[in-house]
């Protein structure tokens, strides 16, 4: 399947690719710009992912919505542009098959100028109409160790933020709105009624737990169950396919974000009222920097199941 160019707005001439799960009719669409998945929907057009109507599709700015890929820096936690260059680089289509999509990004002269480390990223997506699993593999292809951060910045579409209930996302968090002050979420179920920007530290735990989001998506989807985690290979030079067999679990955080009223109005690529229609729950390695030895790989995964 070759990338095609579609137009959402006049300025958009970016390459996209769509994969279909034949048996169920579900589709996943990605922009090669940023390797950004922007749609996962069923045959009857029940869409799970949110993309802003004001998203800028100029090939320079990150796409506001879907699943932007954050690498090698989270936010302003370092010298690079906010959230790093992964979400604004041009990725390569490796494979689009029945219920499968694979994209790849390797270092270029431009990335090495910003961040002097050879690397290869691979995004693998496997899906049908009930389940969507995406895995971001990070491989150190250089001769020296490096440290990085990575995140699957997933935007969920909501009919109404006031009806959202989050269950299972608990424990220690850092509040980015309070200079990283620590807090503990011990409610088993809660909603969002104000600007929220929390990093739940090691949220996946030793055994990936299920987080439930109620009232997510449209056209019959009552909610989703989210599982996520990370792993690090214990030996070098494994292929992505072999990696999970030889890997050990690694810590995985989760970011919970909604801009609410005031920040939504300050964002040029986000509608003033769109905070009502989305929430981000983002698995990642962001509370600290993940070290990676030459030849070693790290993988970050999420599995989203419709309820």
Question: For the chain, where are the alpha helices, taking DSSP H only?
Answer: 109-114, 240-246, 260-266
End-to-end CA distance of the chain: 31
For residue 56, what are the contacts with CB-CB under 8 A and spacing of at least 6?
11, 63, 64, 268, 269
pLDDT digits (tens, 9 = 90+) for 248-290: 789 999 999 999 999 999 999 999 999 999 999 999 999 999 9
User: Tell me, what's the pLDDT at 245?
Assistant: 52
Among 188, 185, 145, CA closest to 168: 188
User: Tell me, what's the pLDDT at 284?
Assistant: 97
The tokens describing 32, both together, are 């090669």
Give the count of beta carbons closer than 10 Å to the beta carbon of residue 1.
Answer: 12
Is the whole model's pTM more than 0.85, yes or no? yes
pLDDT digits (tens, 9 = 90+) for 204-225: 987 778 999 998 766 555 799 9
User: Tell me, what's the pLDDT at 1?
Assistant: 56
The tokens describing 3, both together, are 């990338």
The tokens describing 65, both together, are 């919505």
Distance CA 110, CA 95 (A): 25
Give the length of the chain: 307
Question: Which residue ranges in the chain fall short of pLDDT 70?
Answer: 1-12, 217-221, 234-247
User: Tell me, what's the pLDDT at 233?
Assistant: 86
Whole-Å CA distances, 232 to 53, 75, 113, 203 = 37, 23, 27, 17
């Amino acid at each position: 399947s070759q990338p095609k160019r579609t137009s959402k707005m006049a300025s958009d001439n970016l390459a996209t690719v769509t994969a279909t799960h034949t048996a169920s009719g579900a589709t996943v669409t990605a922009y090669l710009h940023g390797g950004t998945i922007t749609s996962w929907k069923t045959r009857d057009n029940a869409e799970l992912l949110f993309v802003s109507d004001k998203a800028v599709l100029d090939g320079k700015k990150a796409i506001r919505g879907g699943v932007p890929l954050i690498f090698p820096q989270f936010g302003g936690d370092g010298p690079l542009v906010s959230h790093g260059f992964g979400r604004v680089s041009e990725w390569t289509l490796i494979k689009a098959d029945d219920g499968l999509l694979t994209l790849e990004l390797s270092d270029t002269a431009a990335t090495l100028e910003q961040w002097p480390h050879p690397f290869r990223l691979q995004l693998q997506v496997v899906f049908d109409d009930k389940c969507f699993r995406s895995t971001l593999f990070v491989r150190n292809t250089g001769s020296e160790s490096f440290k990085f951060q990575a995140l699957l910045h997933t935007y969920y579409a909501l009919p109404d933020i006031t009806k959202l209930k989050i269950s299972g996302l608990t424990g220690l968090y850092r509040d980015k709105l309070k200079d990283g002050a620590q807090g503990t979420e011990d409610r088993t179920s809660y909603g969002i009624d104000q600007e929220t920007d929390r990093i739940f530290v090691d949220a996946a735990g030793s055994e990936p737990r299920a987080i439930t989001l109620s009232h997510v998506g449209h056209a019959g989807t009552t909610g989703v169950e989210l599982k996520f985690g990370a792993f690090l290979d214990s030996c070098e030079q494994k292929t992505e396919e072999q990696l999970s067999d030889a890997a050990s679990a690694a810590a995985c955080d989760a970011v919970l974000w909604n801009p609410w009223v005031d920040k939504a109005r300050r964002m040029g690529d986000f509608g003033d009222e769109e905070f009502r229609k989305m929430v981000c729950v983002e698995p990642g390695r962001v509370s600290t920097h993940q070290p990676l030895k030459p030849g070693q790989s790290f993988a970050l995964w999420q599995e989203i199941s419709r309820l």
